Amino acid sequence: MNSHDKPSGLVGELEGVEGLEVETGVTLSGFSTFRIGGPAEFLVRLQDRSALEALLSAAGRLGLPFEILGLGSNVLFPDEGLPGVVARLTGNLASFQFQGARVVAGGGMALAKLARLAAERGLEGLEALSGFPSTVGGAVRMNAGSYGVEIQDVLVETCVVDRDGRSRCLTVQELEPSYRRTILQGSGSVVVSATFQLREGSAEKALGRIEELNRRRWASLPSGRPNVGSIFKNPEGEYAGRLIEACGLKGSCCGDAQISPRHANVIVNNGKAKAWQVLELMLTVRQAVDDRFGAQLVPEVELLGSLRNRWQEALDQASEGSR
Protein backbone atom coordinates (compact mmCIF):
# COMPACT_ATOMS: atom_id res chain seq x y z
CA MET A 1 0.00 0.00 0.00
CA ASN A 2 1.47 3.37 -0.99
CA SER A 3 0.88 6.59 0.92
CA HIS A 4 -2.04 7.53 -1.30
CA ASP A 5 -3.88 4.31 -0.38
CA LYS A 6 -3.79 4.84 3.39
CA PRO A 7 -7.14 5.53 5.06
CA SER A 8 -7.67 9.16 6.03
CA GLY A 9 -9.57 10.95 8.75
CA LEU A 10 -10.47 9.18 11.96
CA VAL A 11 -10.08 5.71 10.50
CA GLY A 12 -6.57 6.57 9.41
CA GLU A 13 -5.71 8.15 12.75
CA LEU A 14 -6.78 4.98 14.58
CA GLU A 15 -5.22 2.47 12.21
CA GLY A 16 -3.34 -0.12 14.23
CA VAL A 17 -4.84 0.89 17.59
CA GLU A 18 -5.97 -2.20 19.48
CA GLY A 19 -9.09 -2.42 21.60
CA LEU A 20 -11.47 -0.46 19.42
CA GLU A 21 -13.81 -0.90 16.47
CA VAL A 22 -14.94 1.90 14.16
CA GLU A 23 -18.14 1.88 12.07
CA THR A 24 -19.54 4.65 9.90
CA GLY A 25 -23.12 5.68 9.20
CA VAL A 26 -24.74 3.48 11.86
CA THR A 27 -28.33 4.53 12.56
CA LEU A 28 -28.66 5.64 16.17
CA SER A 29 -32.37 4.93 16.59
CA GLY A 30 -31.47 1.32 17.38
CA PHE A 31 -29.33 2.52 20.29
CA SER A 32 -32.05 4.62 21.93
CA THR A 33 -35.02 3.48 23.98
CA PHE A 34 -36.91 6.28 22.17
CA ARG A 35 -36.18 4.52 18.84
CA ILE A 36 -35.46 7.92 17.30
CA GLY A 37 -32.35 9.25 15.57
CA GLY A 38 -30.32 9.39 12.37
CA PRO A 39 -26.83 8.05 11.63
CA ALA A 40 -23.61 8.57 13.56
CA GLU A 41 -20.68 9.73 11.47
CA PHE A 42 -18.47 7.36 13.49
CA LEU A 43 -19.64 4.78 16.02
CA VAL A 44 -16.67 3.51 18.04
CA ARG A 45 -16.70 0.59 20.48
CA LEU A 46 -13.92 0.81 23.07
CA GLN A 47 -12.59 -2.07 25.15
CA ASP A 48 -9.98 -0.44 27.40
CA ARG A 49 -8.61 2.84 28.67
CA SER A 50 -5.71 3.03 26.22
CA ALA A 51 -8.13 2.74 23.29
CA LEU A 52 -10.22 5.54 24.79
CA GLU A 53 -7.16 7.75 25.20
CA ALA A 54 -6.16 7.10 21.57
CA LEU A 55 -9.66 7.93 20.37
CA LEU A 56 -9.85 11.15 22.36
CA SER A 57 -6.46 12.20 21.05
CA ALA A 58 -7.46 11.50 17.43
CA ALA A 59 -10.84 13.20 17.76
CA GLY A 60 -9.11 16.23 19.30
CA ARG A 61 -6.58 16.51 16.48
CA LEU A 62 -9.35 16.29 13.88
CA GLY A 63 -11.69 18.64 15.74
CA LEU A 64 -14.49 16.07 15.83
CA PRO A 65 -17.45 16.33 18.22
CA PHE A 66 -17.45 13.51 20.78
CA GLU A 67 -20.31 11.87 22.68
CA ILE A 68 -20.38 8.85 25.00
CA LEU A 69 -23.38 6.55 24.56
CA GLY A 70 -24.53 4.36 27.42
CA LEU A 71 -27.77 2.38 27.23
CA GLY A 72 -29.54 5.13 25.26
CA SER A 73 -32.21 5.45 27.93
CA ASN A 74 -31.86 9.17 28.61
CA VAL A 75 -30.92 10.70 25.25
CA LEU A 76 -32.67 12.16 22.23
CA PHE A 77 -30.73 11.92 18.98
CA PRO A 78 -31.50 14.39 16.16
CA ASP A 79 -33.23 13.13 13.02
CA GLU A 80 -30.26 14.06 10.86
CA GLY A 81 -27.88 12.12 13.08
CA LEU A 82 -24.69 13.20 14.80
CA PRO A 83 -21.45 14.45 13.28
CA GLY A 84 -18.21 13.24 14.80
CA VAL A 85 -17.77 10.37 17.24
CA VAL A 86 -20.30 8.41 19.27
CA ALA A 87 -18.42 6.03 21.56
CA ARG A 88 -19.55 3.02 23.58
CA LEU A 89 -17.62 1.46 26.46
CA THR A 90 -17.27 -2.34 26.31
CA GLY A 91 -14.80 -5.03 27.40
CA ASN A 92 -12.68 -3.98 30.38
CA LEU A 93 -14.57 -0.69 30.50
CA ALA A 94 -17.78 -2.61 31.27
CA SER A 95 -16.32 -5.08 33.78
CA PHE A 96 -16.64 -5.34 37.58
CA GLN A 97 -14.73 -6.61 40.60
CA PHE A 98 -15.98 -7.16 44.14
CA GLN A 99 -13.57 -6.41 46.98
CA GLY A 100 -15.36 -7.34 50.18
CA ALA A 101 -18.23 -4.89 50.58
CA ARG A 102 -16.81 -2.66 47.85
CA VAL A 103 -17.26 -3.06 44.12
CA VAL A 104 -15.31 -1.40 41.31
CA ALA A 105 -17.27 -1.23 38.06
CA GLY A 106 -16.42 0.02 34.59
CA GLY A 107 -18.25 3.03 33.25
CA GLY A 108 -19.89 0.94 30.54
CA MET A 109 -21.46 -1.60 32.89
CA ALA A 110 -25.24 -1.61 33.26
CA LEU A 111 -26.18 -0.29 36.70
CA ALA A 112 -29.15 -2.65 36.97
CA LYS A 113 -26.91 -5.67 36.39
CA LEU A 114 -24.42 -4.45 38.99
CA ALA A 115 -27.20 -3.94 41.55
CA ARG A 116 -28.48 -7.48 41.04
CA LEU A 117 -25.01 -9.02 41.20
CA ALA A 118 -24.39 -7.18 44.46
CA ALA A 119 -27.71 -8.31 45.88
CA GLU A 120 -26.95 -11.94 44.99
CA ARG A 121 -23.80 -11.59 47.11
CA GLY A 122 -25.78 -10.23 50.03
CA LEU A 123 -24.47 -6.69 49.52
CA GLU A 124 -27.04 -3.94 50.01
CA GLY A 125 -27.11 -0.31 48.89
CA LEU A 126 -27.88 -0.39 45.18
CA GLU A 127 -31.38 -1.90 45.27
CA ALA A 128 -33.24 1.39 44.77
CA LEU A 129 -31.13 2.09 41.67
CA SER A 130 -31.66 -1.37 40.17
CA GLY A 131 -34.44 -0.14 37.91
CA PHE A 132 -32.49 2.86 36.65
CA PRO A 133 -31.80 2.11 32.96
CA SER A 134 -28.27 3.50 32.80
CA THR A 135 -24.66 2.53 32.68
CA VAL A 136 -22.52 3.14 35.75
CA GLY A 137 -20.80 6.03 33.96
CA GLY A 138 -24.05 7.72 33.01
CA ALA A 139 -25.45 7.30 36.51
CA VAL A 140 -22.34 8.78 38.14
CA ARG A 141 -22.25 11.66 35.69
CA MET A 142 -25.81 12.77 36.53
CA ASN A 143 -25.92 11.57 40.15
CA ALA A 144 -28.82 9.30 39.26
CA GLY A 145 -31.44 8.77 41.92
CA SER A 146 -34.53 6.70 42.57
CA TYR A 147 -36.79 6.03 45.56
CA GLY A 148 -34.84 8.35 47.82
CA VAL A 149 -31.39 6.96 47.02
CA GLU A 150 -28.77 8.72 44.88
CA ILE A 151 -25.48 7.50 43.48
CA GLN A 152 -23.65 9.86 45.84
CA ASP A 153 -24.97 7.82 48.79
CA VAL A 154 -22.89 4.76 47.84
CA LEU A 155 -20.14 6.21 45.63
CA VAL A 156 -16.59 6.42 47.01
CA GLU A 157 -14.73 7.70 43.96
CA THR A 158 -14.78 7.71 40.21
CA CYS A 159 -11.95 7.68 37.67
CA VAL A 160 -12.31 9.67 34.47
CA VAL A 161 -10.40 10.41 31.30
CA ASP A 162 -10.54 14.06 30.25
CA ARG A 163 -10.77 15.23 26.66
CA ASP A 164 -7.01 15.87 26.62
CA GLY A 165 -6.43 12.20 27.49
CA ARG A 166 -5.46 12.90 31.10
CA SER A 167 -6.69 10.38 33.68
CA ARG A 168 -7.69 11.38 37.20
CA CYS A 169 -9.78 10.10 40.08
CA LEU A 170 -12.33 12.18 41.97
CA THR A 171 -13.90 11.55 45.35
CA VAL A 172 -17.65 11.83 45.63
CA GLN A 173 -17.20 15.21 47.37
CA GLU A 174 -15.07 16.49 44.49
CA LEU A 175 -17.93 15.68 42.09
CA GLU A 176 -20.06 18.27 43.95
CA PRO A 177 -23.20 16.16 43.50
CA SER A 178 -26.65 17.70 43.67
CA TYR A 179 -30.08 16.77 42.31
CA ARG A 180 -29.45 15.03 38.97
CA ARG A 181 -26.14 16.82 38.55
CA THR A 182 -22.35 16.67 39.07
CA ILE A 183 -19.46 18.75 37.76
CA LEU A 184 -18.88 16.08 35.08
CA GLN A 185 -21.87 17.28 33.07
CA GLY A 186 -20.67 19.47 30.26
CA SER A 187 -17.02 18.75 31.09
CA GLY A 188 -16.42 16.22 28.33
CA SER A 189 -14.79 13.84 30.84
CA VAL A 190 -15.52 10.13 30.40
CA VAL A 191 -16.20 7.96 33.45
CA VAL A 192 -14.10 4.81 33.07
CA SER A 193 -14.71 3.31 36.54
CA ALA A 194 -16.47 3.89 39.83
CA THR A 195 -16.00 2.46 43.30
CA PHE A 196 -19.05 1.84 45.48
CA GLN A 197 -19.16 1.13 49.20
CA LEU A 198 -21.98 -1.27 49.99
CA ARG A 199 -22.94 -2.99 53.24
CA GLU A 200 -23.14 -6.61 54.27
CA GLY A 201 -26.71 -7.83 54.41
CA SER A 202 -29.10 -10.48 53.20
CA ALA A 203 -29.26 -11.67 49.59
CA GLU A 204 -32.89 -12.67 50.06
CA LYS A 205 -33.79 -9.24 51.44
CA ALA A 206 -31.83 -7.33 48.78
CA LEU A 207 -33.28 -9.34 45.88
CA GLY A 208 -36.78 -9.01 47.31
CA ARG A 209 -36.32 -5.25 47.56
CA ILE A 210 -35.22 -5.11 43.92
CA GLU A 211 -38.31 -7.01 42.76
CA GLU A 212 -40.61 -4.82 44.87
CA LEU A 213 -39.17 -1.53 43.60
CA ASN A 214 -39.11 -2.68 39.99
CA ARG A 215 -42.80 -3.61 40.20
CA ARG A 216 -43.56 -0.15 41.58
CA ARG A 217 -41.48 1.51 38.89
CA TRP A 218 -43.07 -0.29 35.96
CA ALA A 219 -46.56 0.18 37.38
CA SER A 220 -46.05 3.97 37.36
CA LEU A 221 -44.61 4.25 33.84
CA PRO A 222 -46.19 3.71 30.42
CA SER A 223 -45.37 0.40 28.81
CA GLY A 224 -45.53 -0.79 25.23
CA ARG A 225 -44.33 2.48 23.69
CA PRO A 226 -40.69 3.57 23.26
CA ASN A 227 -39.73 6.30 25.74
CA VAL A 228 -36.85 7.52 27.89
CA GLY A 229 -38.68 7.90 31.19
CA SER A 230 -38.86 11.34 32.77
CA ILE A 231 -38.41 14.14 30.26
CA PHE A 232 -38.00 16.97 32.79
CA LYS A 233 -36.32 17.23 36.18
CA ASN A 234 -38.63 17.89 39.11
CA PRO A 235 -38.54 21.52 40.27
CA GLU A 236 -37.58 21.89 43.92
CA GLY A 237 -40.49 20.85 46.11
CA GLU A 238 -42.67 19.90 43.14
CA TYR A 239 -43.29 17.18 40.56
CA ALA A 240 -42.94 18.05 36.88
CA GLY A 241 -45.65 15.54 35.99
CA ARG A 242 -48.20 17.24 38.26
CA LEU A 243 -47.49 20.66 36.75
CA ILE A 244 -47.75 19.35 33.19
CA GLU A 245 -51.00 17.53 33.94
CA ALA A 246 -52.43 20.65 35.60
CA CYS A 247 -51.81 22.51 32.32
CA GLY A 248 -54.09 20.03 30.56
CA LEU A 249 -51.32 18.65 28.36
CA LYS A 250 -51.58 14.96 29.20
CA GLY A 251 -52.17 13.05 25.96
CA SER A 252 -51.15 15.96 23.70
CA CYS A 253 -49.51 14.95 20.42
CA CYS A 254 -47.14 16.29 17.82
CA GLY A 255 -47.10 13.76 15.04
CA ASP A 256 -46.35 10.37 16.57
CA ALA A 257 -44.79 11.94 19.67
CA GLN A 258 -47.25 12.05 22.58
CA ILE A 259 -47.26 13.16 26.20
CA SER A 260 -48.22 9.90 27.82
CA PRO A 261 -51.87 9.68 28.94
CA ARG A 262 -50.53 7.63 31.85
CA HIS A 263 -47.67 9.83 33.07
CA ALA A 264 -47.46 13.50 32.09
CA ASN A 265 -43.67 13.70 32.46
CA VAL A 266 -43.10 10.97 29.87
CA ILE A 267 -43.22 11.39 26.10
CA VAL A 268 -43.83 8.23 24.09
CA ASN A 269 -43.12 7.30 20.50
CA ASN A 270 -46.34 5.97 18.99
CA GLY A 271 -44.58 4.58 15.95
CA LYS A 272 -42.72 7.01 13.73
CA ALA A 273 -42.06 9.99 15.98
CA LYS A 274 -39.33 12.40 14.96
CA ALA A 275 -36.89 14.14 17.26
CA TRP A 276 -38.18 17.55 16.22
CA GLN A 277 -41.70 16.50 17.24
CA VAL A 278 -40.49 15.48 20.70
CA LEU A 279 -38.67 18.81 20.97
CA GLU A 280 -41.81 20.72 19.98
CA LEU A 281 -43.78 18.98 22.72
CA MET A 282 -41.03 19.76 25.23
CA LEU A 283 -41.06 23.44 24.30
CA THR A 284 -44.86 23.56 24.50
CA VAL A 285 -44.75 21.99 27.95
CA ARG A 286 -42.04 24.32 29.20
CA GLN A 287 -43.89 27.43 28.03
CA ALA A 288 -47.23 26.29 29.47
CA VAL A 289 -45.77 25.47 32.87
CA ASP A 290 -43.86 28.76 32.94
CA ASP A 291 -46.97 30.75 32.01
CA ARG A 292 -49.20 29.11 34.61
CA PHE A 293 -46.85 28.41 37.51
CA GLY A 294 -43.76 30.53 36.86
CA ALA A 295 -41.65 27.35 36.98
CA GLN A 296 -38.91 26.83 34.39
CA LEU A 297 -38.68 23.12 33.66
CA VAL A 298 -35.20 21.78 32.87
CA PRO A 299 -34.76 18.72 30.61
CA GLU A 300 -33.69 15.50 32.28
CA VAL A 301 -33.36 13.85 28.87
CA GLU A 302 -30.07 14.79 27.22
CA LEU A 303 -30.58 16.66 23.95
CA LEU A 304 -27.73 15.93 21.57
CA GLY A 305 -26.32 17.63 18.49
CA SER A 306 -28.56 20.20 16.84
CA LEU A 307 -31.36 19.57 19.35
CA ARG A 308 -29.29 21.10 22.13
CA ASN A 309 -28.79 24.26 20.06
CA ARG A 310 -32.44 24.45 19.02
CA TRP A 311 -33.60 24.18 22.64
CA GLN A 312 -31.29 26.99 23.71
CA GLU A 313 -32.33 29.16 20.76
CA ALA A 314 -35.98 28.72 21.73
CA LEU A 315 -35.21 29.71 25.32
CA ASP A 316 -33.29 32.78 24.15
CA GLN A 317 -36.20 33.82 21.92
CA ALA A 318 -38.69 33.38 24.76
CA SER A 319 -36.46 35.45 27.03
CA GLU A 320 -36.19 38.21 24.44
CA GLY A 321 -39.96 38.16 23.95
CA SER A 322 -40.63 38.61 27.66
CA ARG A 323 -38.50 41.76 27.95
Q: Taking the alpha carbons of 227, 229, 233, 236 in that order, is the dihedral positive or negative?
A: positive
8-state DSSP, 181: B
Residue among 102, 116, 163, 180 flagged as catalytic: 180
Decide: residue 2, CB within 10 A, 0-12 exposed, 13-18 middle, 19+ buried: exposed
Nearest in space to 106 (alpha carbons), one of 152, 161, 183: 161
- In 3D space, the residue among 73, 129, 72 whose CA is nearest the CA of residue 105 turns out to be 129
Whole-angstrom CA distances from 90 to 183, 219, 231, 310 are 24, 31, 27, 32
Name the catalytic one among 300, 302, 306, 310.
Answer: 300
Centroid of chain to Cα 176: 19
230 assigned to active site: yes
d(CA 57, CA 90): 19
| 220 among known catalytic residues | no
CA distance 109 to 91: 9
242 an active-site residue?
A: no
Q: Distance of CA 36 to CAs 79, 146, 217, 227, Å?
A: 7, 25, 23, 10
**Residues with catalytic function:** 180, 230, 300
